Amino acid sequence: AYEANCAKCHGLKDPARYSEEKWKKVNPRMAKKAGVDAATEELILKYVLTAGSAANSGAQAFHKNIGGDASNSSGHDLPFQII
């Protein structure tokens, strides 16, 4: 549902890019623009929250295993530093 509906108007966003709070604010507005029903809107929200959480958990676990944190000097949540 996410790819089929959200890519109609813009490029797909990385679900980990936004916080849960931000997704909950943006999702209803975008669903209205895309003309999706309430069930599809809820499905999309569940997808982005689950996918975003999984991506962030993976970064946190990686950094925990190497003794660091999930941020770096570039300001991005990446397991490496951008130079």
Cα gap 27→45, rounded to integer Å: 7
Instruction: Confirm whether pTM is higher than 0.85.
Output: no
Q: What token pair was written down for 68?
A: 């660091």
Q: What local confidence, expressed as pLDDT, does residue 50 receive?
A: 92
Query: Residue written as tokens 């669903």?
Result: 31
Please give the span between the terminal C-alpha atoms of the chain, in angstroms, as a whole number: 36
Name the pLDDT band for 66 (thresholds 50, 70, 90).
very low
Q: What local confidence, expressed as pLDDT, does residue 74 receive?
A: 44
Q: What local confidence, expressed as pLDDT, does residue 3 receive?
A: 85
